[in-house]
Amino acid sequence: MENQELIAHINEVLADEFEIEVSDITPDANIKETLQLDSLSLVDMVALIENEFCVKIQNSELPTIQSFADLYAFIGARMSK
């Protein structure tokens, strides 16, 4: 999957699950603030990424993923392995 396609796909599934507009998502935006995630719905985001992209985000890795750009990079890197 090309990078832009991957980003569009990630944005689409996140917007759909957390009921926001895709246009609300920008690379530098904070994920928790944009998706209105608390400690519980953060689990749902991790599960969504795992189900959709077969990429498991470990708890210890979560602090490194703050922005959408961080998330795109994390998923992209894992999928290319």
| Footprint of another protein on 16-55 (CB under 8 A) | 17-19, 36, 38, 40-41, 43-44, 46-47, 50-51
* 2-10, 13-21, 25-33, 62-70 -> range binding another protein (CB under 8 A): 13-21
Cα 48 to Cα 52: distance, rounded to the nearest angstrom: 6
Report the interhelical angle of 39-53 vs 68-80 (nearest 10°): 30
Nearer to another protein by Cβ, of 41 and 67: the residue is 41
Alpha-helix residue ranges (DSSP H) falling in 1-81:
3-18, 31-35, 39-53, 68-80
Q: Can you give the binding site for another protein, defined by CB under 8 A?
A: 17-19, 36, 38, 40-41, 43-44, 46-47, 50-51, 56
